[in-house]
Amino acid sequence: MLVLSETQVRKCLSMKKCIAANRLALGALRLKEKEKIFSPAVVPSRIALPFGSSPQDNTLFKPVGFYGKDETLMGMKVISVRGQNSDIGLPLAPATITVLNAKTGEVTAIVAATYLTAARTAAGSAIATQIALEQNEAQSCENLVVLGAGLQAECHIAALVELFREKIKNVTIVNRSLGRANDLRETLMTRPEMQHINFKVVLFGMEQEFKSSVENANIICTAINSTSPIFNWNWITHSCHINGVGSYNENMEEVDSTFVRDRCVVVADTKEALSVGDLSKISVSHPSFRGLLGDVMAGVASYKTVDDSKCTMFKSTGTAVQDLFTAEAVVKAANDMCIGTHIDMN
C-alpha cells in the first residue's frame, strides 16, 4: 500500500495534470441521455456526520466507483470541515482518499487530499469557465475577482491562469482579513506564469473598491463558506462568469438565489448541487438550469445565453468522481517518480 503526504501530493500533481484528470471525471457525470449512453460513474449518497453547533462543520464519507470500458476504479474520500481550524494553524477542510484495487478489494493507496481537493475543485471551475466563455464568444477574461484568500482561492487563480495564461491581466483578492490576502498575493506574485498579472487586495468592508471590482469582473470565483450572500449581487449589471464553490448545503448561500434564478444560466457538477442554498429557487426543470458540466461537454446541453445581461454560473459542491480520478493521477505520478512510502499490510 502506498501512502502519500500533502507535500508529496503537491509534487505529483501539477495543475495541468489535475485539469486533464478532471476533464475525464466531470465528463463521466451525466444527467441527460444521449443515444442511450449513461454515466459510468456510481456515486452513492454521501454520509454526513455533524460536529458541534455550526452548520458548516461536518465530516463527509464519500464512496465512488467508475465502471469504464477498460478499467474499474474504486475509492472513498473522507473530508471534514472545521471552521475553527484556521485559528490553530490547521486546514479548514482536511481530507484523505483511499484508492482500492477493484479486483481484489484491497486498499492500494492512502492519499492526503487537502490540497488535492482544492486543486480538483479549481480545475473543474476552470474547465467550466473555459467552456462558458467559448460558447458565448466572450471577448475578454482579463479581470478576475476571487472572494477568499485560502487554499481554494489560491488554486482557482492557478487553474484559471493555467487555461487562460496572458489573457488574465488583473486579479483582485477580496477577503475579510488583510494579512491573509496579502500573503496570498505575495505568494502568487513569485510564480513565473503570473509575472504579467496586476494583483490587488480589497477587504469586504471597502465597499466602493469592492463594488468597482465586481462591476468590472469578467470572472468571479466565490470561495467563502457563507450562510448568506456575501455582497449585493445587483452590483453586477453585465454578463460575467461565476464559479460558486464555497457553499455546499441548503443552509449556505454565497451567491444570491434570486440573482441566480433571474440572471444566470446555471450548470452544476452534480445534481446534488441543486440542494445548495445558492440554487434553492431553481430546480432540475427550471429554464435557468441547463444540466451538468458532463452534459455540456457531451453536447447535450449548452451554456449559450440569449441575453447580454445574463451571467453564466458553475455551481460546484464537489464529487468523489473528481477525487478518484485525481488521486489515480497522483498515484501514477508517484510511482513514476518513486515518491511515497510503501507499507505491507499483510
How distant, in Å, are the alpha carbons of 25, 30, 99 from that of 269? 10, 9, 22
**Does 46 score more than 90 pLDDT?**
no
Exposure string for 25-50, b = 16+ CB within 10 A, e = fewer: bbbbbbbeeeeeeebbbebeebeeee
Q: Are 61 and 46 in contact (CB under 8 A)?
A: yes
Distance CA 188, CA 196 (A): 11
Q: Residue 41 is which amino acid? A: A
What is the DSSP-derived secondary structure letter of residue 322? H
| More confident call, 12 vs 85 | 12
Q: What is the 8-class DSSP label of residue 29? A: -
Nearest to 245 by CA among 175, 146, 332, 114: 146
pTM, two decimal places: 0.93
Q: pLDDT tens, 263-306?
A: 999 999 999 899 998 999 999 999 999 999 999 999 999 999 87
**Mean pLDDT value of segment 168-182:** 95
Distance of alpha carbon 79 from alpha carbon 96, whole angstroms? 7
Report how far Cα 287 is from the mean position of its chain's Cα atoms.
24
- DSSP 8-state symbol, 265: E
C-alpha cell at 274: 441543486
Instruction: Say whether pLDDT at 35 is over 70.
Output: no
DSSP 45: P
Higher pLDDT pick, 137 / 336: 336
**CA angle, 257 then 259 then 254, to 5°:** 50
Kindly indicate the confidence band of residue 100, based on its pLDDT and cuts at 50, 70 and 90.
very high
Walk across the sheet containing 143-147 and list its strands: 198-203, 170-175, 143-147, 219-222, 241-244, 311-315, 264-268, 289-292
Q: What tens digit of pLDDT does each residue of 128-141 get?
A: 999 999 999 877 89
Closest listed residue to residue 269, CA positions, set 261, 279, 259: 279
Alpha-helical runs (H) found in the chain: 6-12, 15-27, 114-135, 151-164, 178-189, 207-215, 257-263, 293-298, 320-337
From first CA to last CA, the distance across the chain in angstroms is: 10
Q: Residue 293, SS3? A: helix
How many helices and strands in the chain, by DSSP H and E? 9, 16
Question: Could you give phi then psi for residue 195, rounded to 5 degrees?
Answer: -65, -25
**Secondary structure, 3-state, 206-228:** CHHHHHHHHHCCCEEEECCCCCC
Residues in the chain, overall count: 346
41 pLDDT band (50/70/90 cuts)?
Answer: confident
Q: What is the largest CA-CA distance in the chain?
A: 62
Domains and CATH numbers, the chain: 2-116+320-342 (3.30.1780.10), 125-315 (3.40.50.720)
Which conformational region is residue 107 in: left (phi greater than 0), alpha (psi within -120 to 50 degrees), or beta?
beta
